[in-house]
Structure 1
């Protein structure tokens, strides 16, 4: 007898395919469950079977030939089992059951005589298949054995849910990576396409100032200054887009054991720092394992940010590094500048946040890049500051 279809069969099949588990390779976790089920029930065969549109497919098949991974749904005992999702189906002797007495699986290999199956039900309420045990002779199970089989069925359901969650996570990560790649490419192209017209405006402004400044008057000069400043700001923001879009590409490089003091000195040299400003490494940790390019960019941006907003003739910056109790390291960069008001401390990490500190004005890019790099390395960054107290940026480098 062919099992009837449930009223919500289309929804059940859609639900099954959401798991992305059909035709996957064998996994030890599922094989462990079928081994336990067979041992508890004393049967030579145990299966985790999923009922597809025209077949039942075995995620785990203890006691079957390795090449026997599925059977026709028309012959499947589990196709009958999923009709009642909340009830364990027990067939003591299939030769005496009108549903199965003419079934080829009963009279031919694998000679299914005894069957007991627990429906595997999704959170949506659809029976996807069964955890079942099979014997080639008539038998009964005790109440205790049926209870343990039911418990193992619940574990099989949890494994299926874990598999679905992993599939969903992988898909979302793939979508995210594709979107990020498209965003990086888009921002790179747009920024490059904008550079030429901005450069033309800047050159035209320079020519106007050289050749026609005496004819423009005060109002004209003021407008020319505004155009020049606007082109400078636009150029800075375009460069910021390019830097931000390329920031995590440095992380593709393998991590290395690198010298802290050499990295700080290299960042200082590339910033062309000169007296009376100074940067000192005061940490006792000599080496860390991380991306050398990413750490260099972090130091360049944090030190460069401190120099940009310094309100003193001689800016003093110190870099420290200590070992974390949980493993890895904690790095801090402290400056003696004017500090950051509490209401601005979270906003400074936003891309193109407009910041005014004293006479200095900036459209934030550097700190956005720092946060992105630190996060991509698996760490977090935070700051402590107050007006007139300087600023300390602290970030973690995981082990």
Structure 2
């Protein structure tokens, strides 16, 4: 074909030729707008030559015994040839395209036995001139959503008919063209997704490596899978040294069981995340205090890895230790005069100085209550100092937690009666054996139950419930009070945090009881936590490993 044929001339001159010849233009499909969007989604117009498309066009030409075959795509103003056999040029105006008629009937093969005898095409320059089309058959290229995007067509210079077997073959080949186009679109989408993923991974890697806190991926068994530089700096290890060990190996022995209990609960899907303060062992041997926050990534039913965020809080702990040492010093200085004051007030109340007038008795009773409160505060501060220095004594024996809970409830009932609150105890277990310090657990139970009493409404009931999870015994202490405000929840176990909260609702308390209780439970390898809802109440609970 010469370079001046309508297949290679400009679109404007060809359109003028069509108009002058009076050739019929194909109607616009009713779904033209969505059809053009569908075609655009394949991003195939004006793409390069591809052998797979050429092979299909060649096969169509040979099966149908025609000298010419095209894979043609129709956009708003032209038909473009993805592949061509026996023809020059790459496109024609849409007005000239017989394939533009094919897309009007996406369910059928469009055939023209003799274009010279068909009024729609007899004046078409492609019929009256080169390439002298007589016979035409086109199978539509139909997308999965039903849009006809173009045609696989065969062309002859002699009039003829298309036998049924060739028609079926042409339809089958048109489906193969669409399969290639779908593959192209899917591959492009995958490439785009991979590029986006690569960019995202690069951003994550940069954030991960430059994060000011330690970040690590940890296997369900505890191996360090990946660690960032901040964690290496914090613990004194090179990355390859850490990834050859486990978190268990460099966790302080006193903190390990508490951490493992939370890990087991997370693997059992009892909790989604957890946070705790713990000590890691630096490569040189000294302890590094850290705030550990952990979440777990799952693959459906299989745990993949933990994401651990590890913040160095050693400096904060040192500051707290300085404050604690100051408070301890003050408390030691206060203990003797407070003891003497309580003794003197007791003697006065007993009438050693004669019977006091009613007003003096009231003032003495007020002084005695405040002296007693100051005495408890001094003892709490000294307990904190002993816990943090490691001097807090524990005497573990085999105990039945059921008996201990019942004893605590009995001893605290007179206190609850002052608030007109009932204490109810129930257990799901006939025996709840633990190897623990009974006195220290009694201290925890007394703190939790007395707190619940103070925050219960008059006439209310506190439920103390002993139950069991998969690997631990759990004690719940539930009140029906006002619940804990959101702003106090995060720091509820910190020193004096409870005092800040109770100061707003006049419930009293030093704010040290929960901090001491948490330390006692953690020393036993357990967890102390809470659930609360404003206006409904709170449940404080601890879990301890089963004997």
TM-score (norm: length of structure 1): 0.54
**Corresponding residue for residue 108 of structure 1:** 129
**Aligned to 2:151, which of 127, 130, 133?**
130
Instruction: Give the distance between the partners of 1:36 and 1:118, measured in 2 at CA.
Output: 14
| Structure 1 residue 240 corresponds to structure 2 residue 169 | no
Change (3 A) 1:187 1:301: closer
Which has the higher relative contact order, 1 or 2, with Cα contacts under 8 A spaced 6 or more apart? Answer: 1
Q: Using the TM superposition, give the Cα deviation of residue 382 of structure 1 relative to its aligned residue in structure 2, in angstroms.
A: 7.1
Give 1:355 deviation, angstroms: 6.2
SS in 2 for 1:87: coil
Partner of residue 301, structure 1? 243
| In 2, Cα distance between equivalents of 1:172 and 1:159 | 20
Aligned to 1:161: 182
191, 197, 202: which one aligns with 1:170: 191
Mapping of 1:260-339 within 5 angstroms? 297=239, 300-301=242-243, 303-309=245-251, 311=253
2:165 equivalent in structure 1? 144
Q: Quote the Cα distance in structure 2 between the aligned partners of 1:103 and 1:382.
A: 68
Q: Please show how residues 180-259 of structure 1 align to structure 2 within 5 Å.
A: 180-182=201-203, 191=211, 238-240=212-214
Is the CA contact (8 Å cut-off) linking 2:252 and 2:279 kept in structure 1?
A: no
Report the equivalent of 2:33: 10
Q: What's 2:292 paired with?
A: 363
In structure 2, the residue corresponding to 1:303 is in which secondary structure? coil
Do the aligned residues in 2 keep the contact of 1:35 with 1:62 (CA within 8 Å)? yes
Give the aligned partner of residue 266 of structure 2: 344
**Equivalents in 2 of 1:40, 1:167: separation in Å?**
32
CA contact (8 A) 2:278 2:292 kept: no
Please list every run of 5 or more consecutive structure 1 residues that lacks an aligned counterpart in the other structure: 192-237, 251-267, 274-295, 313-336, 388-399
Q: Is the 8 A contact 1:354 1:363 kept in 2?
A: yes
Structure 2 residue aligned with 1:230: none
CA 1:35/1:362 → structure 2, altered by over 3 Å: closer, same or farther?
farther
Listed one character per residue, the Cα deviations across residues 339-386 of structure 1 (whole Å, up to 9, x for unaligned) are: 985443498xx9x96468999976268x99xx9xxx9xxxx9679xx9
* Secondary structure class of the residue paired with 1:140: coil
User: In 2, are the aligned partners of 1:311 and 1:338 still within 8 Å (CA)?
Assistant: no
Q: CA deviation at 1:16?
A: 0.5
Aligned pair partner of 2:76 in 50, 53, 60: 53
Cα separation, 2, equivalents of 1:46 and 1:135: 9
Shift of 1:154: 1.2
| 2:26 partner SS | coil
CA-CA distance at 1:127 after TM superposition: 0.5
Work out the CA distance in 2 between the residues paired with 1:105 and 1:240.
72
Task: Indicate if the aligned counterparts of 1:354 and 1:361 stay in contact, CA closer than 8 A.
Answer: no
1:303 to 1:186, Cα distance in 2 relative to 1, 3 A: closer
Matching residue of 1:31: 54
* TM superposition score normalised by structure 2: 0.41
Q: Is the 8 A contact 1:309 1:338 kept in 2?
A: no
